[in-house]
Structure 1
């Protein structure tokens, strides 16, 4: 598993900020119909959750693609920090212990992968889905996100997989 660096976290935060700026409807529409306006972020947030789960996969094609995306994001972010603002590359804090996915949790992530690929191809929210997954991959193993979102997401997917495959299999 690839460990996130300051550069990778920076890329993830940049994607998140760009999405929020792109989405921002203005204060008046947000006050008038908040549920509809916030609902416009749903494709990004669902894909973000998938990206977090994808980076938690231990191996296989999904894990390799997520690790590769994180490695590239780390490199791009580190280059941007060094050449853009004169910073230094490096790891983002200590290595974070994360909750691994069970076999049935991994199966759910595989099913989610099929849904994400189909949604990117067929949905009008393809850009939001791709950006959300990339952002989730970049931020999924950072210290703050791993404690806040990755562990509950992994627990939910592990439980869902256990329940689904307990009934179906």
Structure 2
């Protein structure tokens, strides 16, 4: 894979899915941080414990679609995509004996100028939360961003989430651009 390109193989999608499944599995097994009594089955799982991961996942999907290759964030995103896709391909091909064809969506999703402004604000919030939050699970957030980067370019289910996500950011950006002008 070339760092300048935005393409993902089945191995990358597989690794992104594995990350999502493992985070949900860990949440399920640990009881999700719910206030259950000792000795129960962890049946009091609190879905709000998955919010930081879900926000990071959505951010990763948007990051791989929006970050230009010339920007610093674009370079970081491309490196994450390249590395994660390579690891996923190695696992899929040499770990379990499968193959890893290209599964990149046909058309990229583009943000408007206001959408990029909202994306820039979201980037600052993600970095700020990572640096200054004591309660935010940092590893879970990084895993969510990586999973989003790997899943955002897929032509399947995760790829279809990119269109409404980018559209929502563009709508918020239109509102924001209208407010600040």
* TM, length-normalised to structure 2: 0.83
The separation in 1 between residues aligned to 2:116 and 2:145, in whole angstroms, is 17
- Identify the residue that residue 129 of structure 1 maps to in structure 2: 141
* CA distance in 2: counterparts of 1:142 and 1:104, whole angstroms: 25
Aligned residue number for residue 39 of structure 1:
48
Structure 1 stretch displaced more, 54-63 or 129-138: 54-63
Is 1:44–1:132's contact at 8 Å kept on the other side of the alignment?
yes
Aligned residue number for residue 20 of structure 1: 24
Cα distance in 2 between the residues matched to 1:120 and 1:11: 23
The alignment covers a number of residue pairs equal to: 163
Distance 1:106 1:68 in 2: 21
Distance in 2 separating the partners of 1:112 and 1:28 = 37
Q: Distance in 1 between matches of 2:100 and 2:166?
A: 29
Structure richer in helix, relative to its length? 1
Matches of 1:108 and 1:68, distance apart in 2: 23
CA contact (8 A) 2:11 2:86 kept: yes
Distance 2:56 2:67 in 1: 19
Quote the Cα distance in structure 2 between the aligned partners of 1:118 and 1:47.
13
State the alpha-carbon separation in 1 of the partners of residues 57 and 67 from structure 2: 18
In structure 2, runs of 5+ residues without a counterpart are 33-39
Q: Is the 8 A contact 1:78 1:89 kept in 2?
A: yes
Question: 1: distance between equivalents of 2:79 and 2:23?
Answer: 22
TM-score, scaled relative to structure 1: 0.88
Q: Structure 2: how far apart are the matches of 1:96 and 1:43? A: 29
- Whether 1:98 aligns to 2:98 is no
1:66-86, CA deviations, whole angstroms, 9 ceiling, x for partnerless residues?
122111111111111122112
Aligned position for 2:87: 76
Q: Which has the larger radius of gyration?
A: 2
Provide the rounded CA distance (Å) in 2 between the counterparts of 1:115 and 1:122.
Answer: 10
* SS of residue in 2 equivalent to 1:3: coil
Partner Cα separation in structure 1 for residue 16 and residue 124 of structure 2: 23
2:118 to 108, 126, 130: 108
Which residue does the alignment assign to 2:151? 139
